[in-house]
Amino acid sequence: PTMRGGQSYVSCPPSFSNDGNRLLVGCGTSVAIFSTATALQVSSLEGHTSTVTSVVVVPGSKILNYCWTSSLDGTIRYWDFSLFECIKKIDLNLPIFSMVIPSLLSTPEESSGKKKNVYAYVCMQTENGKDNKPKLCTAQIRKCNLTNYNKLSKVTLKETKWPQRLTISPCGNFLGIKDKRKLHIWKIPKVDSDSAVSKKITLHHTKTFSVLTFHPTERIVAAGDVTGRILIFRGFGAQNFQENGELLNRTSMTGEECKPGVRQNDDAESCSTWHWHSSGVNLLSFSSDGVYLYSGGKEGVLVFWQLDTGKKKFLPRIGSPLRYFIDSPDPSVSSISCADNQIHIFKISSMEIMRSISGIKPPLSSQDICESISSQAAFDCTSGLVAVQTENYGIQFYSLFANRGLYEIQVCERNYQPVDDVTVVVTMVELSVDGSMMGTVEVKLPEEGIGGLICLKLWDLDSDTKRFSMSTLIYEPH
């Protein structure tokens, strides 16, 4: 029988249950449900036939356990995740890269008694042209009636060359994407329908955007770029997104002199730039009260920016590039997803990581620069263990039976920083047939033409602790 395991936990943002006790994580073709108290998987939602790309928990009371998911299999599914049961399936027939559902976040209109249709906005693959030739744009943003699905709305918000992750404002009023050096932002219609068209504005930058996020209450959008800068656009849509009877803060908003930092006379009142990250910003999220902006990137450091002053605090040494920051219903607890396939459950008040969900470590990024890396993992078939190299000069032991990381050992004693140049690589790992011994090979890369040093280490398994400790060290084995 084949054993399967080791899916990615960080291919899309996770989502907390309404009671905050569970975290729903897209995990290959399924949704893994983890306990936030133990970081152990308690169940899963099975049914999609390709990668899950979005998990959206329906907000409500703590006892409600419903969620929507989208997948590259072209379907949207509605689940009761307390019963692990799929209630509804909508087939769009084309891969869905991202999905948001604005009306779940907006406050229902009190006046009308009847229930409104729920619409999802999806970024999906474009259909081929009439002659069945693929179009230049591979992705399109469309609208889909989840309540009474007949066919996709004819309204196409945008076509883009590459798939884009959709970002929604916390109140469900605005939808945004990054598209090269532009941000496109749509105002979601108050009463949505198949034919309702969303107003759109575009904000420009001189560098390529990498991520964006909306403020929870004010009309502020923050966006990160590939150089590590963060742009804060305040008062976006002041001209184009006004409702009848809404008064502008400033009446005559023409010319660039009264819109500091704003390019091409874009529809924003001001734009300020912050810069701390040394490479692209991957993670950007406002705190639930809007006082702080959190940012993260390759450095593995979470930066807390005070929005009003630009002052910053740091949570350093997370140990891997950051991907997503997700708030739970409990304002003191959040999750941080990292590039090393870990999700950390994180307490903001004490700025500490409480627990970690450890997926299998991804292939080494240093494979390009060191040809001697063996990408082969080592297996101990009796215990269902697999040993893989890690970016931080170690070996991870991953249980295929339990489908989780058990522990890691450090092969090279050196401090790992994700942004540092790679100087040492663990190129090989092997386990003996009975799993009682391990061999590792590490290579010190040649610097300035001086040859690389090879080091073989042998490790014995301690029968009590069930962990490996080094027994033999051989320099330059031959």
Q: What is the pTM of this model?
A: 0.90
pLDDT at 19 over 80: yes
Return d(Cα 449, Cα 191) in angstroms, integer: 67
C-alpha distances out from residue 32 to 3, 4, 71, 231, Å? 17, 14, 14, 35
115 or 338: which carries more pLDDT confidence? 338
Instruction: Indicate if 319 and 431 belong to the same structural domain.
Output: no
* Amino acid identity for residue 205 in this structure: H
Instruction: Indicate if 105 and 245 belong to the same structural domain.
Output: yes
Return d(Cα 28, Cα 10) in angstroms, integer: 10
Evaluate whether 424 touches 445 at the Cβ level (below 8 Å): yes
Confidence band for 381, pLDDT divided at 50, 70 and 90:
confident
Return d(Cα 241, Cα 250) in angstroms, integer: 14
pLDDT at 416: 79
In three-state secondary structure terms, 346 is strand
The HSE-up count of residue 26 (CA atoms within 13 Å, CB side) is 26
Return d(Cα 93, Cα 128) in angstroms, integer: 12
Domain membership flag for residue 10 = no
Return d(Cα 203, Cα 219) in angstroms, integer: 14
Instruction: Indicate if 150 and 21 belong to the same structural domain.
Output: yes
pLDDT at 406: 92
pLDDT at 114 over 80: no
Domain membership flag for residue 438 = yes
pLDDT at 252: 47
For the chain, percent of residues with pLDDT exceeding 70: 90
In sequence order, the 6+-apart residues with CB closer than 8 A to the CB of 448 are none
Instruction: Indicate if 144 and 260 belong to the same structural domain.
Output: yes
Convert the pLDDT of each residue in 354-379 to its tens digit: 999 999 999 887 666 666 677 678 99
pLDDT at 390 over 80: yes
Instruction: Indicate if 388 and 334 belong to the same structural domain.
Output: no
pLDDT at 219: 96
Instruction: Indicate if 308 and 378 belong to the same structural domain.
Output: no
Mean pLDDT of 86-110: 89
Residues recorded for the chain: 478
Phi, psi of 368 (to 5 degrees): -65, -35
Instruction: Indicate if 347 and 438 belong to the same structural domain.
Output: no
Confidence band for 110, pLDDT divided at 50, 70 and 90:
very low
Domain boundary among 298, 328, 358: 358
C-alpha distances out from residue 194 to 147, 156, 186, 197, Å? 12, 11, 16, 9
Apex CA 434: angle with CA 431 and CA 440, to 5°?
15
Domain boundary among 325, 343, 358: 358
Instruction: Indicate if 304 and 369 belong to the same structural domain.
Output: no
- Strand blocks (E) in 46-102: 52-57, 66-71, 75-80, 85-91, 96-100
Domain span at residue 315?
A: 15-358
How many domains does one find in the chain?
2
Return d(Cα 439, Cα 329) in angstroms, integer: 46
Dihedral sign of CA atoms 19, 23, 26, 30 in order: negative
**And the tokens for 365?**
């990024």
- Chain-wide mean pLDDT for the chain? 90
Instruction: Indicate if 380 and 346 belong to the same structural domain.
Output: no
Instruction: Indicate if 331 and 378 belong to the same structural domain.
Output: no
Q: Residue 147 sits in a domain of what CATH number?
A: 2.130.10.10
Domain membership flag for residue 215 = yes
**And the tokens for 174?**
């605005």
Instruction: Indicate if 459 and 409 belong to the same structural domain.
Output: yes
Dihedral sign of CA atoms 402, 403, 406, 412 in order: positive
Convert the pLDDT of each residue in 391-430 to its tens digit: 888 999 999 888 899 999 999 887 778 777 778 888 899 9
Instruction: Indicate if 318 and 391 belong to the same structural domain.
Output: no
Convert the pLDDT of each residue in 241-283 to its tens digit: 876 555 445 444 455 458 888 998 899 989 999 999 999 999 9
Evaluate whether 302 touches 296 at the Cβ level (below 8 Å): yes
